[in-house]
């Protein structure tokens, strides 16, 4: 249904200050066609001249396209252009951002075949060489600890939290996640842990502090490692937690538990076998391993906007692809848990904190950045909610290891 | 170490009644070489003339080769010939059968590359057409309900039990397994369940009896279906449990829960996508699914002896291969649990009962059969113990299903 209302924006032309031009019949037809293809979701699309496409009286949200050029770009590269236009404020969302994006995701899932929108589904999987990994990690994690402190929890845990109770706060849920990972690893005092990709060190410090283990924790981010070392020193844990600024491929030594929380997304599927070899090299015969990663039900790249602006080189594997880590190394997968709705909530909690701090973010960066990260946090939450992304925790051990508990009750005891 | 002792058997020649001939230098060399290649395990190999290969003073077990021809056949097709010679009593094991086989498995794992023993690792995956499935199911499951009653639990559950407590009996562990499956499926009274491959009906009847659901249960085995229907009638459950003698590919209708326990091994990897399509056709948007199957860490066929004599057409998939079921159907894997040590114990419990009933088995079949099934039960236990086989329980749901509990505590509550 296309209806006409008053122009919504005085800046509807392609150049600032130009008078609004009316939308063309072809433009309206394209949007109407798109709206049909995505199954007429409960959203409205509003054009720069006030034209409304969408047939619900009370839509979940409205996507307002403020300039004709946005529409042209959406034709060529829909996801990338959507993100760019949102960051540039040439496309805005009215209504709850996460829920509107969920509704759009569900619609897109209906038409998301490899034939549709080839740019979105291009099977370009980035190769993460040593140098590229370093550069890409720098892009995201070194934009400033102060920035992340504005909206992460106090321990700076930048991975999926675990809401053991419905009413848990983000702080509680992150601590619960750290404990849950330690429980799944069955850490015993005196054991040696190797962590691949340790962020600001929260898990490594938590393990040393509460489980009596020693930890070697690897990370490519200079800023994160410096911060983690400060924390270890301040807590008197420097002798039990060593933070190593290096690539996971250079991990050496021996460990009773191998853990990686939120690093696999930056490894790239071409290197999963290498990661498996690294683990095979360092894990003792009775050792346990846990890999926690964003995942997919079926192999496909992350959307091009996220890969371009947020996480260069990132990739969320399917369970099938993750098996590359375990199969050649002679490991048995013991346990897989999908925590996607925990990540949906984690991102929503991050977004809520972020929204209260946008003035400070704007002072650090600019309006474009503020909107870009708003979209990143909201769309991440939405993508977990709509079931397009998963969060897999995989526990594994060597195939012949018969020393582990055989029930979950015993395992968690 | 090769040592000489008194000839162990008067029937050491290739023909019964012939005098024992001495083992040849080449024969002893071959066995010694093999023993080295498998890492000098804690077993001894004894030849027909009393020659002992193996260097432990107190071995876990001894494999005694009573005829020269066994050795020749082991050269050509080791696993197949081992099984055939064991069934023919031309190769016997002294010591604990399961533990001796575990030790041999561990040794074999050291040399088990695709280059070694091509017949063992031939990638011949059997195709299970409708007719072949029927024939193969008949081969194993229709050899007589009375035979299975001799050594299965009272409910005739012929799949991995769940020993929730260490001291559980087989009876208790099978009931615990049925309840565990129901818990994982989150059955609610009044719901409709479809079961693919229902054996003698224990799970279907248990679900109807204790969880208030209605069940459509499919099975290709005529004898099993007849037995299951009798049980349903005797319990007054015929109106709530329908046993259908048909192929899983012909499943129709709609269900709130889809379950398959121990059928996937007979499906064959070429049909996993078909199974996924079947589930996609029948499962409601908020439905849950569970597939319980013997599995592998990495794709390879079952050993040729088992496929030839015990389970024609059977195949134990890797988790990677199982993903074929879920990926195209738009399912999310929510939970995977590996219960391999439970199956090791289940098989050991079956073997113990079987050993007390061998006179009855001999009366039904013959000595050859008695030994063949002894080896099957013992080697199954050993193969789970050594980590060569896994038991995966996979819980799944449609990708967009947000109605399910988000923690295991809530899921199991």
| Burial class of residue B62 (count of CB atoms within 10 Å of its CB; 0-12, 13-18, 19+) | middle
> Quick check: B297 and A331 CB within 8 A?
yes
HEC sequence for B139-159: HHHCCCHHHHHCCCCCCCCCC
* Closest chain B CA to residue A403: B341
Task: Give me the domains of chain B, ranges plus CATH numbers.
Answer: 2-111 (3.30.1050), 130-412 (3.40.50.150)
* pTM of the predicted model over 0.90: yes
Measured between CA atoms, how close is B154 to chain A, in angstroms? 24
ipTM: 0.92
- Please state the rounded mean pLDDT for residues B119-128: 49
**Nearest beta carbon to residue A333 from set B109, B336, B398:** B336
**Nearest beta carbon to residue A332 from set B297, B328, B409:** B297
C-alpha count within 13 angstroms, C-beta hemisphere, residue A4: 4
| Burial class of residue A234 (count of CB atoms within 10 Å of its CB; 0-12, 13-18, 19+) | exposed
Query: Residues A149, A140: contact at Cβ < 8 Å?
Result: no
In the three-class reduction of DSSP (H, G, I as helix; E, B as strand; rest coil), residue A32 is classed as: helix
Question: For an interface test with A, which of B407, B409, B413 has the most A Cβ atoms less than 10 Å from its Cβ?
Answer: B407
DSSP letters spanning A351-410: HHHHHHTHHHHHHHS-HHHHHHHHHHHHHHHHHHHTTSSEEEEEEEEETT---S-SSHHH
Count of A-B CB contacts under 8 Å: 100
Which residues from B are below 8 Å from A328, CB to CB?
A: 298
Res B120: pLDDT: 40
Count of C-beta atoms within a 10 Å radius of residue B76: 10
pLDDT in tens, A185-239: 999 999 999 999 999 999 999 999 999 999 999 999 999 999 999 999 999 999 9
Question: For an interface test with A, which of B298, B299, B394 has the most A Cβ atoms less than 10 Å from its Cβ?
Answer: B298
**Residues in chain A whose Cβ is within 8 Å of chain B:** 106, 109, 162-164, 297-298, 318-320, 323, 326-328, 330-342, 385-388, 390, 398-402, 406-409
- Separation between Cα atoms, residue A181 and residue A175, nearest integer Å: 10
Q: How far is CA A385 from CA A41, A85, A251, A327, B395, in A?
A: 16, 23, 35, 30, 19
**Residues in chain B whose Cβ is within 8 Å of chain A:** 106, 109, 162-164, 297-298, 318-320, 323, 326-328, 330-342, 385-388, 390, 398-402, 406-409
Query: Residues A177, A208: contact at Cβ < 8 Å?
Result: no
Res A19: pLDDT: 62
What value does the mean pLDDT of chain B take? 91
Question: How remote is the C-alpha of B227 from its chain's centroid?
Answer: 22
- pLDDT value at A132 more than 80: no
- pLDDT value at A9 more than 90: no
pLDDT in tens, B282-303: 999 999 999 999 999 999 999 9
> Quick check: A319 and B333 CB within 8 A?
yes
pLDDT in tens, B24-57: 999 999 999 989 988 899 999 999 999 999 977 8
Task: Find, among A346, A349, A369, the residue nearest to A359 by Cα.
Answer: A369
Measured between CA atoms, how close is B380 to chain A, in angstroms? 15
- Separation between Cα atoms, residue A315 and residue B109, nearest integer Å: 34
pLDDT in tens, B134-160: 776 666 776 789 999 999 999 999 999
What one-character DSSP code corresponds to residue A306?
Answer: I
Res A157: pLDDT: 98
């Amino acid at each position: 249904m296309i209806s006409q209302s008053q122009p919504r924006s005085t800046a509807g032309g392609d150049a600032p200050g130009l008078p609004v031009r009316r939308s063309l019949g072809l433009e309206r037809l394209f949007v109407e066609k798109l709206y049909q293809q995505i199954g007429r979701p409960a959203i409205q699309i509003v054009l720069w001249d006030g034209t409304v496409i969408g047939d619900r009286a009370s839509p979940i949200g409205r996507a307002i396209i403020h300039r004709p050029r946005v529409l042209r770009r959406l034709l060529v590269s829909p996801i990338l252009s959507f993100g760019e236009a949102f960051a540039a404020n040439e496309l805005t969302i009215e209504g709850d951002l996460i829920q509107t994006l969920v509704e759009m995701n569900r619609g897109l899932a209906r038409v998301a075949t490899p034939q549709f929108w080839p740019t979105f589904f291009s099977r370009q999987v980035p190769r993460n060489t040593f140098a590229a990994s370093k550069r890409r990690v720098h892009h995201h994690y070194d934009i400033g600890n102060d920035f992340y402190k504005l909206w992460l929890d106090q321990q700076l845990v930048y991975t999926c939290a675990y809401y053991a109770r419905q009413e848990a706060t983000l702080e509680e849920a992150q601590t619960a996640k750290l404990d849950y990972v330690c429980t799944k690893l069955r850490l015993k005092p005196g054991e040696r842990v190797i962590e691949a990709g340790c962020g600001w060190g929260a898990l490594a410090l938590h393990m040393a502090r509460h489980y009596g283990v020693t930890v070697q924790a690897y990370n490519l981010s200079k800023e994160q490692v410096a911060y983690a070392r400060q924390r270890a020193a301040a807590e008197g844990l420097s002798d039990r937690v060593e933070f190593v600024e290096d690539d996971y491929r250079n991990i050496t030594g021996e460990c009773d538990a191998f853990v990686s929380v939120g690093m696999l997304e930056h490894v790239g599927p071409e290197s999963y076998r290498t990661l498996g070899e690294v683990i095979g090299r360092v894990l003792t015969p009775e050792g346990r391993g846990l890999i926690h990663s964003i995942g997919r039900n079926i192999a496909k790249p992350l959307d091009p906007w996220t890969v371009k602006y947020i996480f260069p080189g990132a990739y969320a594997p399917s369970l099938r692809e993750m098996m590359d880590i375990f199969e050649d190394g002679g490991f048995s997968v013991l346990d897989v848990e999908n925590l996607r709705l925990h990540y949906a909530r984690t991102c929503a909690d991050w977004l809520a904190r972020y929204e209260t701090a946008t003035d400070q973010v704007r002072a650090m960066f600019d309006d474009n950045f503020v909107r870009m990260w708003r979209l990143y946090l909201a769309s991440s939450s939405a993508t977990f909610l709509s079931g397009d992304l998963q969060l897999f925790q995989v526990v594994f051990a060597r195939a012949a290891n018969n020393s582990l508990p055989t029930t979950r009750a015993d395992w968690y005891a």
